[in-house]
C-alpha cells in the first residue's frame, strides 16, 4: 500500500529546479563562449538553444513531475531535459572542435 511519501515530493521538485537552473546557466555559458570565440553559426544556434532552455527551465521544471492524475510522471520531462543537455554537449563539442581546427590551421 502506498504510504505517505513525506517530504519526497518537495525534494524532487527542488531537484528539478536545480537541474533546470544548471541546464539554463550552462547552455548560456556555451552560447557566450561561442560568441566570444567568434564562431558565428554556432553562436546563433547556441543563443537560440540557450533562450529556449531557459524558458523551458523556468516554465516547466519548477513544477516537478506532477501529472494531473496525481501520479508520479517523470518520463517525458526527463526525456526533455536529457535532450536539452545532449544538445548543449553537442554544441560545446562543436565549438571546441572548431576552435581546435582554426588554431591548428592558423598556427
Judged by beta carbon, residue 48 or residue 93, the one nearer another protein is 93
Does position 42 interact with another protein (CB under 8 A)? The reply is no
With a CB cutoff of 8 Å and minimum separation 6, the contacts of 94 are 42
Q: How many CA atoms are closer than 13 Å to the CA of 32, on its beta-carbon side?
A: 6
Q: Smallest distance from the beta carbon of 103 to another protein, in angstroms?
A: 6
Quick one: which of 43, 48, 55, 70 contacts another protein (CB under 8 A)? 70
CB 4 within 8 Å of CB 48: no
The conformation of residue 66, written as its DSSP 8-state character, comes to: B
Q: Smallest distance from the beta carbon of 93 to another protein, in angstroms?
A: 4
Does position 41 interact with another protein (CB under 8 A)? The reply is no
Amino acid at each position: 500500500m502506498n504510504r505517505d511519501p513525506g517530504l519526497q515530493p518537495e525534494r524532487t521538485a527542488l531537484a528539478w529546479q536545480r537541474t533546470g537552473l544548471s541546464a539554463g546557466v550552462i547552455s548560456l555559458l556555451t552560447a557566450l563562449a561561442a560568441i566570444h570565440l567568434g564562431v558565428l553559426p554556432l553562436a546563433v544556434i547556441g543563443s537560440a538553444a540557450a533562450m529556449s532552455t531557459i524558458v523551458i527551465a523556468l516554465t516547466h521544471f519548477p513544477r516537478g513531475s506532477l501529472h494531473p492524475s496525481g501520479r508520479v510522471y517523470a518520463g517525458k520531462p526527463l526525456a526533455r531535459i536529457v535532450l536539452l543537455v545532449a544538445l548543449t554537449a553537442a554544441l560545446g563539442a562543436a565549438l571546441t572542435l572548431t576552435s581546435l581546427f582554426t588554431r591548428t590551421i592558423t598556427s
